[in-house]
Amino acid sequence: MTDIFSNVIRRLDKAAKIIQIDPEVIHQLKHLTAAMEFSIPVRMDSGELKYFKAYRAQHNNTLGPTKGGIRYHPMVCMDEVKSLAFWMTMKCSVVNLPFGGAKGGICVNPKELSPMELERLSRGFIKRIADFIGPDVDIPAPDVYTNAMIMGWMMDEYSKIVRHHVPGVITGKPIALGGSLGREDATGRGAYYCIKELEKRLNWNPKNIRVAVQGFGNAGQHVAKLLFEDGYKIVAVSDSKGGVYHSDGFDIDSLIYMKNSSKILKAVYCTESVCEEVEAEKITNEELLALDVDLLIPAALENQITLSNASEIKAPVIVEVANGPISTDADEVLQSRDTLVVPDILANAGGVTVSYFEWVQNKIGYYWSETKVREKLHSSMLREFSAVCQMKKDKKVDMRTAAYAHGLCRIGEAVSAQGTRSYFAPRE
């Protein structure tokens, strides 16, 4: 058991101590259903043949078929994929979805590939795992540096292999290929709904709340935009190359336009397509995390806040939009300082929730309006946020432990319904 996964298990053990649950449930969750490591050959545009290492981990299918994204990143490894699959199991249980957890990834920098190389790589991934996925077995989705178009290629490749159209094998697809309205902004919108509940409970006035967002990809952009539209002051944002800070806040629509049109994060103000640079301080990702803000939103990668920098965090509230941005050791430091952390398995569950909606729509062949999708997402996030807060209050624990305990209760009921040692043990 390597470092990330062992730290994940520590959180599981901590949550198990506060609820009545059969030990066999915890034992089961410490083991994966399956894990695959393989290589994908890709003929590059130059004619060269390259091999890319890839992974797929299926953690647990007690509640239903496994579900989880596919990320393209140079640092993807089996330990990371196993941990992300575990988090997906807990996340699906927390928001009451009929899925277990899975995750996949390819060790690659997608920015170095041409569009055609990227398509060949994506289709090659599906060729390798086609026997192990399916709409009732394991359902991939987008993650870091993958998108709707890539999911469309993957769905098409799987359909070719099985020789019939199977839109439900992949979620996060383009609308024209069976995707769901409301899926693109679902992760950020789910986090936004959590923040709006915090706003009520903490009596926030949005105009007085300073926000820093680490990670300005899909989820980070959407949560920042929604908060900005409500009057929150977004004073800092960053991407993989660094960030910008302005004490008076940014015009988020302008930053999003510049980032998406030029791939550059620059402090600007835009009138339609004409943008002019505005004065702002350039900062590193590490400096952003340590800013004196009211709300910190890590929306990049895991392990951004660790034991080495946890004591520098000044934000009293953190909402985890990324998966696992706070290490277990850092968690303990933040808890000792009464930092309120809304954990990833709740805060970023909007994405998998709308992926579930997409899967349901693919199965029935009937598609919902964006308004209906958002209404259902809001209802789900509000219900589970309230349940986790109640668990936090009843058990007098931090919000992460409460969320894990909430999810464990549902998995525990399903495992016990099939019989554990207490049922099968010989009776004297």
- Between CA 123 and CA 41 the distance in angstroms is 11
Identify whether the C-beta of residue 391 lies closer than 8 Å to the C-beta of residue 402.
yes
For tokens 């789900």, the residue is 380
What are φ and ψ of residue 341, in 5° steps? -115, 120
Residues 6+ apart with CB under 8 A from 97: 63, 64, 67, 352, 353, 356
3-state secondary structure of 338: coil
- Between CA 298 and CA 319 the distance in angstroms is 7
- Between CA 107 and CA 300 the distance in angstroms is 17
- Of the candidates 228, 153, 148, the one whose C-alpha atom is nearest the C-alpha of residue 188 is 228
- Of the candidates 81, 177, 220, 382, the one whose C-alpha atom is nearest the C-alpha of residue 390 is 382
- Between CA 243 and CA 327 the distance in angstroms is 22
- The two tokens of residue 200 are 């009520």
Catalytic positions: 103
Q: Kindly state the helix (H) or strand (E) to which residue 373 belongs, with its residue range.
A: helix 370-395
DSSP 218-247: HHHHHHHHHHHHTT-EEEEEEETTEEEE-T
- Between CA 345 and CA 190 the distance in angstroms is 11
Identify whether the C-beta of residue 319 lies closer than 8 Å to the C-beta of residue 349.
no
What are φ and ψ of residue 296, in 5° steps? -110, 130
Which segments within 162-232 are labelled E, that is strand? 210-214
Helix 148-162 × helix 115-129 angle, to 10°: 50
Identify whether the C-beta of residue 362 lies closer than 8 Å to the C-beta of residue 167.
yes
